[in-house]
Amino acid sequence: MILANSLFTYGAFMSFAMPLRTGLIVAALLCALPLMSIARAEGRAVQLVALGDSLTAGYLLPQDKALPAVLEKLLKEKGRNVTILNAGVSGDTTADGLARLEWSLPDGVSGVIVALGANDMLRGLDPSVPRANLKAIFDRLKERKIPVFILGMRAPANYGENYAKDFDSLYADLAKANGAPLYPFMLEGVAGQAAYLLSDGLHPNAEGVEVIARKIMPQLDEFVGALR
């Protein structure tokens, strides 16, 4: 009889305890959901778009040797969860980049690497033209709250001192006005170095791209870190 009463009491307790335990588990899971959401958000990849010309597209190079792919590889080696879309089109001027800006940006893009202006310079366009187009690109990205990392370009000395001064300064001016990080000269360490250039003397070969990417990395890594 005592055993029967004990079993009855234990059964009654379990009938009460099981819903209570289940309720506590559900409550704990509900409390954990915000933390799980945060963890998923922190693990989400940073998606960058590299908007540029042939220097970005990887002229005559396999896609995995183009600058965006090499930058992505180096960032991943540093532990960054990042993808970089190659939106480089050979021959593009700043006007061309501006014209295709909207459809070059997928939904959810985290930031844009702007690398335009070389073809404006090669065509001898007045520096006011790329300045205005790049400003328009910055303005549109600012409206969408998309941060920008800019790769600058420099005019060769044979263009004349005045032209070089006006052209070279436009990148620093735009970066300062928009609070954007600037790598001053995209071809630093590669321009004029035959070992790092294709036979045309203008475009980097695979080794040249690697040099460019490694020089850009410290600033780009900081840029990506700020996006997270």
Residue 102: how many CB atoms within 10 A of its CB? 9
Q: Helix, strand or coil for residue 226?
A: helix
Question: DSSP secondary structure string, 66-93?
Answer: SHHHHHHHHHHHTT--EEEEEEE-TT--
Q: Per the structure block, which two tokens stand in for 91?
A: 């021959």
Question: DSSP secondary structure string, 175-220?
Answer: HHHHT--EES-TTTTTTT-GGGB-TTSSSB-HHHHHHHHHHHHHHH
**Total H helices, total E strands in the chain:** 9, 5
Q: How far is CA 217 from CA 34, 47, 178, 205, in A?
A: 34, 16, 21, 18
Q: Which residues are catalytic?
A: 54, 200, 203
**CA 68, 214, 108, 130 torsion-angle sign:** negative
Rounded Cα distance, 128 and 167, in Å: 8
Residue 44: how many CB atoms within 10 A of its CB? 11
